[in-house]
Amino acid sequence: MARMNYAQAACAALDDAMRRDARVVVVGEDVGRGGIFGQYRGLQQTFGAARVIDTPISEATIMGAAVGMALAGLQPVVEMRVVDFALCAIDELVNQAAKARYIFGGQGRVGMVARLPNGLWSGSAAQHSQSLEAWFAHIPGLVVVAPATPQDNFSLLRASLACGDPVVYLDHKELWGLEGEVAPAQTARLGEAEIVRAGHDVTVVTWSRTRHAALEAAALAEKQGVSLEVIDLRTIWPWDREAVLASAARSGRVLVAHEAVQVAGFGAEIAATLAEHSDARVRRLGAPRIPVGYSKPLEDESRITLQAIAAACIELRNARPAHRG
């Protein structure tokens, strides 16, 4: 066990992977100086500039080169700085990386991890604060991962490197300094959620930074006699349908809460699945369909707060139960 922050945990996972496997390389802007969030600190000094590769400012070039590296047998970790910038590389990711295994009948696989820091970033406005996980979950061939804790940023990054398919890895832009215990021997499986708090009145399904708001909301709701079960999906695709459906069967009420815009967010997929396969009453809570503002009052309109989660859960708990067959 070691105590480290979210950025250090990812860096430790990469250090471990690069020591074990000479095929693992890092490619992207500013990675040589440690990355803009410190998530690569010290790696170039340890492994050299041939394995931690600084690039020009051209996201399409970076992603395209990484696809070629992967097809040639390397395991690139691609740094896009923030998910918003990755839109400049969408063709290489969506039309090349995601489809290569299918198009070539399994003869070519793009085993790479594309790190696209996701979510609202305080004071950074509309072009640096998007949550785009639903975009990538929609694309066949992509795995989508959203770690919320230092332990998961260690374990899920290692699992992503072992996946063998292209992984969209959504570190959160505001979790880098979050500290926690990290056990290097602890593993994680892609597609396996974590029940981070047991409860019986309402199930809260969430991921990434909203996990922490949901846990705080659970403590607030408990003071009002409402017990929340909090599930962190951890991976958006594949997502753990079985864990969510089992919890919904126990509670009969589910809130899906996420930082992304609610309209067509991934919460809609979860809500639809619950509607088709359970009798639970379901509600979604996401950001309004507006660009994230630069000023704090406007930015706060896009935030999903613990108070909003608690209020929605209490309202769900007090509503009439859904009809059960």
pLDDT number for residue 1: 87
Greater pLDDT, 323 or 100: 100
| Among 233, 245, 273, 255, residue whose Cα is nearest residue 315 | 255
In CATH, what class is 2-182?
A: alpha beta
The model's pLDDT over 241-266, given as tens digits with 9 standing for 90+, comes to 999 999 999 999 999 999 999 999 99
> What is the SS3 assignment for the chain?
CEEEEHHHHHHHHHHHHHHHCCCEEEEECCCCCCCCCCCCCCHHHHHCCCCEEECCCCHHHHHHHHHHHHHCCCEEEEECCCCCHHHHHHHHHHHHHCCHHHHCCCCCCCCCEEECCECCCCCCCCCCCCCCHHHHHCCCCCEEECCCCHHHHHHHHHHHHCCCCCEEECCECCCCCCEEEECCCCCCCCCCCEEEECCCCEEEEECCCHHHHHHHHHHHHHCCCCCEEEEECCEEECCCHHHHHHHHHHHCEEEEEEEEECCCCHHHHHHHHHHHHCCCEEEEEEECCCCCCCCHHHHHCCCCCHHHHHHHHHHHHHCCCCCCC
pLDDT of residue 321: 58
Task: Give the model confidence (pLDDT) of 277-293 as tens digits.
Answer: 999 999 999 999 999 99
- Average pLDDT (151-161) is 98
- Judge if 2-182 and 194-318 fold alike in CATH terms: yes
Annotated catalytic, 323? no
| Across 128-155, average pLDDT | 98
- pLDDT of 323 strictly over 60: no
Does the structure show a pLDDT above 60 at 325?
no
Domain spans, the chain = 2-182, 194-318
pLDDT higher than threshold 70 for residue 322: no
Q: Say if residue 319's pLDDT is above 90.
A: no
Beta-carbon contacts of 91 under 8 Å, excluding residues fewer than 6 positions away, are 60
Catalytic residue of the set 128, 172, 212, 258: 128
Instruction: Please give the average per-residue pLDDT across 104-129, as a whole number.
Output: 96
Phi/psi class of residue 34: alpha, beta or left (left: φ > 0; alpha: ψ in -120 to 50)?
A: left
Summarize pLDDT for 59-100 with one digit per residue, the tens.
Answer: 999 999 999 999 999 999 999 999 999 999 999 999 999 999
CATH number of 194-318: 3.40.50.920
Average pLDDT over the chain reads 96
What average pLDDT does this structure show over 104-132? 96
Give the pLDDT confidence of 200-211 residue by residue, as tens digits: 999 999 999 999
Bond preceding residue 166 cis, omega within 30 of 0: no
